[in-house]
Amino acid sequence: MDVDYGEIMKTLIDLKNVTYTYDEMKVPALSDINLRILAHTWVAVVGVNGSGKSTLARLLNGLLTADSGDIIIDGMALTADSVWDIRKKVGIIFQNPDHQFVGATVEDDVAFGLENLGIPRDQMVELVNWALEQVNMLEFAHKAPQTLSGGQKQRVAIAGVIATRPQIIIMDESTSMLDPQGRQDIMKIMQYLQSELGITILSITHDMTEVIHADQVVVLKEGQIIQSGSVEQIFANPKELAKLGLNPPFTQQVQLELIKQGIDIDSKYLSEQEMVDELWQLYSKM
Amino acid sequence: MAIIFQNVTHVYQADGPLAYTGLKDISFQIRDGSYTAIIGRTGSGKSTLVQHINALLKPTAGKITVSDHIITPETKNKHLKPLRKKVGVVFQFPEQQLFADTVIKDISFGPKNFGMAEKDAEQLALTMLKKVNLSSELAQKSPFELSGGQMRRVAIAGVLASQPDILILDEPTAGLDPKGHQELMELFAQLNRQGTTIILISHQMEDVAQYSNQVLVMEKARLIRDDTPQAIFTDKTFLQEHQLLQPESTKFARLLADRGFKFARLPITTADLVNQIVKELGS
């Protein structure tokens, strides 16, 4: 599939003054959220447990309905009438791989979403195979879910979502229950979906090694967006992030600790490679 | 509370057509007061192994010694209560096991079950609530009204309330935010300093490097290595062969070493990495 670069700066998700309060709660889980997400980008949403991250994900595909405000997905306002059309555009991958498997085999599971959309059978078979190929799971098509690892189950869940050709995939801590290998596999697949299929990724995560690859980082605190920007912008002020209970990425932790101990290095956010270069320069000057 | 495994094998459904070997001929020792980490891929046998320490599973062959208790395939369940009081297990996602209608009842269930008077058990529960950094105001609430992170702490407090000598932790911080993760890891380290033997199953190599003094590596039901974290995490060939990750600090140190940086020994923790860089650049 070709990415239309003419569309690249298009706003795909637009939230205006969105507020949501759970039943019987006094305080809104999300209050007055304004957020724009551009097509084909990778957006990381961070914040401590209970900051409203998962509520945001559930509002975006209509699993929850906002008390007030507008949610516009690809130019279409999310309403009771449009919710089924919106769900075709927004796929979601949850945290627990065991809670998402509905089919008796891998291919049945992937076909489930397509059946719901009433896709004709021959087209369905083709789409299922295509989707399984994208996540490197085609050879497991006839396997039962209990024979798969957690990472493989999440890959099947991703195949089920991409089979319906959504524009946006929301990952709600989808790698947090996987082992490091499973996590890496999912990350590679998501990067492929973004770069090759042009899918916009909205990833809710605590994993800072994942966050540093995002195009945009959104920081939530107590139901409000308190910061939104590039990785460099967000991590320019690590002390503020620490107050929010968020650790800086590993190389920045090292950087801050070295500065504290009197080593003369740049204090702005540096990528891993920049840190290695900086330290090597100091070392070779000695 | 030393723990000794001698040639322990566990076959699931040994008599059936679906027989599956969970542990194969495992032998090792854990010293009293040790902080031992168990690493390995999903399905390698880590959880099966730890469930033998309080005899939730019994070996199909071999022998396990935990302090003065001996567990063999013939061990009867009725003798196991004293052992289970000594060995506390925090399973993965322990919040899924909360059941009582108030937080305090949930936490005091264990001690009461082991024979403690209700009033003492509730007093102890309040102490444990504090230990896991939860406000005593939550005591009378339903555990199901709490956030995921709070529920996790309640479940851990429930295990700590039985005051086990050995604490088994199966990925205790999975899914928690960094602050919650840090606080719980510090709590476990503190219990270890006070004498509790800790056995941690983890995929987070930074934690394994920072806190443990012994690492057991599992692969396909076998114990493939029993060593110090320093020896394991600086053995690049071994890690690669078995698809294990190195801690971030070791990985970063290798990038520096590739450029010509000299390390006295490869660091495995952030503190060690920083100290060695400072030493090099400061001299």
Tens of each residue's pLDDT in chain B, 283 residues? 699 999 999 999 888 887 889 999 999 999 999 999 999 988 899 999 999 999 999 999 999 999 999 999 999 888 888 899 899 999 888 888 899 999 999 999 999 988 999 999 999 999 999 999 899 999 999 998 887 788 999 999 999 999 999 999 999 998 788 888 989 999 999 999 999 999 999 999 999 999 999 999 999 999 999 999 999 999 999 999 998 999 999 999 999 999 989 899 999 999 999 999 999 887 5
Partner residue facing B256 (CB), from A50, A250, A279: A279
Q: Is A143 on the interface with B (CB under 8 A)?
A: no
Q: Which residue has the tokens 């723990």?
A: B3
Q: Can you list the residues of chain A whose pLDDT is less than 70?
A: 1-8
DSSP-derived secondary structure letter, B93: S
Distance separating the N- and C-terminal Cα atoms of chain B = 45
Separation of alpha carbons B275 and B278, rounded Å = 5
- Residue A46 sits at φ, ψ, to 5 deg, of -120, 165
Which of B149, B255, B281 is nearest residue A283 as measured by Cβ atoms? B281
| CA gap B43, A150 in Å, rounded | 10
Give dist(CA A172, CA A204) in Å, integer: 5
Task: Kindly give the residue spans of alpha helices, DSSP state H, lying in B94-246.
Answer: 103-113, 118-131, 148-160, 178-193, 205-211, 229-233, 236-241
| DSSP characters over B20-55 | EEEEEEEEEEE-TT-EEEEE--TTSSHHHHHTTTTT
Interface of B with A (CB under 8 A): 41-43, 147-149, 174-180, 182, 203, 205, 243-245, 248-249, 252, 255-256, 259-261, 270, 273-274, 277-278, 280-282
CA atoms within 13 A on the CB side of B141: 14
Sequence-separated (6 or more) residues with CB below 8 Å from residue A126: none
End-to-end CA distance of chain A: 52
Q: Nearest-CA residue of chain A relative to B179?
A: A245
Q: Tell me which residues of B are annotated as active site.
A: 171
Rg (CA), chain A: 20
Residues of A in contact with B281 (CB under 8 A): 263, 279, 282-283, 286
User: With contacts defined as CB-CB under 8 Å, which chain A residues touch B205?
Assistant: 180
Q: Determine the 3-state secondary structure of A224 from DSSP.
A: strand
Handedness of CA B70, B75, B76, B77 (dihedral sign): positive
Q: Which of A182, A254, A258 has the CB atom closest to B42's CB atom?
A: A182
Whether residue B177 and residue A250 make contact (CB cut-off 8 A), yes or no, is no
Instruction: Return the residue matching tokens 């939730």.
Output: B56
Q: Residue A1 has what pLDDT?
A: 47
Could you give the residue ranges of the DSSP H alpha helices within A3-105? Answer: 53-60, 83-89
pLDDT of B283: 54
The one-letter amino acid code at A59 reads L
Q: Please answer whether residues B252 and B267 qualify as being in contact, where contact means their C-beta atoms are separated by less than 8 angstroms.
A: no
Test A284 with B260 for CB contact under 8 angstroms.
Answer: yes
ipTM, 2 decimals?
0.81
Distances (CA, A) of A34 to A13, A18, A70, B134: 10, 7, 9, 33
Report CB contact under 8 Å: A245, B178: yes
Query: Do A283 and B177 lie within an 8 Å CB cutoff?
Result: no
Strand runs labelled E in chain A: 11-20, 30-38, 42-46, 68-73, 76-77, 90-93, 168-172, 200-204, 216-221, 224-229
Q: In whole angstroms, what is the distance from residue A195 CA to residue B27 CA?
A: 48
Q: Do B42 and A48 touch (CB under 8 A)?
A: no
Query: Is any Cβ of chain B less than 8 angstroms from the Cβ of A286?
Result: yes
Using CB atoms, pick whichever of B41, B175, B277 lies closest to residue A258.
B277
Q: Do B259 and A178 touch (CB under 8 A)?
A: no
Q: Cβ–Cβ of B261/A280 closer than 8 Å? A: yes
Within the 26-85 window of chain A, which residues sit less than 8 Å (CB to CB) from chain B?
47-50
- The tokens for B181 are 């993760």
Residues of A in contact with B176 (CB under 8 A): 49, 206
How many CA atoms lie within 13 Å of B3's alpha carbon, on the beta-carbon side? 27
Residue A2 has which token pair?
Answer: 């070709």
Cβ of B274 within 8 Å of Cβ of A254? The answer is yes
| Range A249-254 contact pairs with CB under 8 angstroms and sequence separation of 24 or more | A249/A208, A249/A209, A249/A211, A249/A212, A250/A208, A250/A209, A250/B248, A250/B249, A250/B252, A250/B270, A251/A275, A251/B252, A253/B270, A254/B249, A254/B252, A254/B270, A254/B273, A254/B274, A254/B277
Q: Do B249 and A258 touch (CB under 8 A)?
A: no
Beta strands per DSSP E along chain B: 3-12, 20-30, 35-39, 61-66, 69-71, 87-90, 166-170, 197-201, 214-219, 222-227
Partner residue opposite A180 with nearest CB, options B182, B245, B259: B245
Looking at chain A from residue 198 to 217, which residues have their Cβ under 8 Å from any Cβ of chain B?
206, 208-209
Pick from B106, B110, B188: nearest CA to B151 = B106
Q: Are A206 and B179 a contacting pair, CB within 8 Å?
A: no
Sequence-distant (6+) residues with CB within 8 A of B91 are B97, B170
pLDDT of residue B1: 63
**Residue with the two structure tokens 């003798």:** B79
Residue in A closest to B260 by C-alpha: A280
Closest CB to A49 among B177, B245, B252: B177
Integer Cα distance of A178 and A182 in angstroms: 5
Q: How far is B200 from B38, CA to CA, in rounded Å?
A: 6
A250 touches chain B (CB under 8 A): yes
Q: Does A25 touch chain B (CB under 8 A)?
A: no
Inter-chain Cβ pairs, chain A and chain B, closer than 8 A: 97
Instruction: Determine the residue type at A15.
Output: L
Residues of A annotated catalytic, as ranges: 173
Q: How many CA atoms lie within 13 A of A285 on its CB side?
A: 9
Structure token pair of residue B277: 């860089």
